[in-house]
């Protein structure tokens, strides 16, 4: 087990064998209906269920492998079966919105049911939507994914800050009001992004960070916006691919501070779950290790065991 347990005095209680204990619906309210901050709920999930995050990615080839049609009914069934397999074995799921969106309004209806089922099972749900814009447009994206009672309500959503981290301020405010979270793309694992994300900031508006990479600038801005000096885990986080080297982007683990790190790329994409601590150093306790195809390829009959194995490896 990793030193993630340092986030809490309560030891983990994962049981990879037998019927999983099924938590009740996620309680996001505190005293007097004040929302429990997302960071606090995430810290609890990391300690109780470990660092594994299971992607809900109904690729066409996986639907075929599962014996499901490549239509809205198929992605719905795929998503619900995945949620059933994860509940009680891991604590976090990350539906990839694009695979549902390609089926139009029926696909979105399917996604709504999957999101609701996951949250009802007590799982933290990170909607992988990668939304970004400015002003009222980005605020509308935030309201779609983070407003309590919205058909697409999730616990957190991935966002893009190509227009500047400050352009996300309306969504940051919305997330805080409702006890939700955001994960801002910073250093992604696709090779096409390296030239942009490693580019050096000039001495203009970002003068205080002149010489830093774009990725490092995003991390610094998110950390400043998080303002979570009293929290073990912040409500705002960043996306950093598990297959990138932090140093290549001018980053070190201490730069991440209290930010949670959503780290795709484990399993099929090449990063090993046993290497989380080595890859992220002092930030490792706050890493959300996302794995999708390496779990989903097990099919409907093997996915529960695959989740259990991956969850143990990520602890």
Q: Which residues are catalytic?
A: 130
Pairing label, strands 261-266, 124-131: unpaired
- Reading the block at residue 150, the tokens are 């919205």
- Reading the block at residue 35, the tokens are 């929302």
Report, in angstroms and rounded to the nearest whole number, the Rg of the chain calculated over CA atoms: 18
């Amino acid at each position: 087990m990793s030193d993630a347990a340092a986030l809490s005095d309560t030891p983990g209680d994962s049981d990879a064998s037998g019927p999983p204990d099924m938590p009740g619906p996620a309680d996001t309210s505190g005293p007097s209906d004040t929302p429990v901050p997302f960071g606090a709920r995430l810290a609890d999930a990391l300690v109780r269920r470990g660092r594994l995050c299971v992607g809900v990615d109904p690729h066409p080839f996986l639907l075929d492998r599962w014996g499901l049609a490549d239509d809205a009914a198929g992605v719905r069934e795929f998503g619900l079966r995945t949620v059933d397999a994860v509940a009680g074995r891991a604590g976090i799921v990350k539906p990839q919105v694009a695979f549902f969106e390609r089926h139009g309004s029926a696909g979105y209806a399917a996604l709504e049911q999957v999101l609701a089922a996951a949250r009802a099972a007590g799982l933290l749900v990170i909607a992988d939507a990668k939304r970004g814009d400015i002003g009222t447009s980005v605020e509308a994206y935030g309201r779609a994914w983070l407003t309590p009672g919205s058909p697409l309500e999730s616990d957190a959503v991935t966002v893009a800050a190509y227009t500047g981290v400050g352009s996300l301020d309306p969504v940051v405010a919305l997330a805080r009001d409702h006890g939700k979270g955001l994960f801002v793309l910073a250093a992604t694992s696709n090779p096409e992004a390296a030239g942009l994300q490693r580019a050096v900031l000039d001495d203009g508006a970002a003068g205080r960070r002149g010489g830093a990479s774009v990725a490092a600038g995003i991390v610094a801005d998110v950390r400043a916006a998080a303002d979570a000096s009293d929290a073990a885990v912040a409500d705002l986080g960043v996306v950093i691919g598990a297959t990138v080297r932090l140093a290549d982007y001018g980053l070190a683990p201490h730069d991440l501070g209290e930010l949670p790190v959503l780290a795709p790329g484990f399993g099929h994409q090449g990063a090993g779950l046993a290497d989380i601590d080595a890859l992220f150093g002092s930030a490792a306790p706050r890493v959300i290790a996302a794995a999708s195809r390496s779990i989903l390829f097990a099919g409907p009959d093997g996915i529960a065991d695959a989740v259990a194995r991956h969850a143990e490896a990520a602890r």
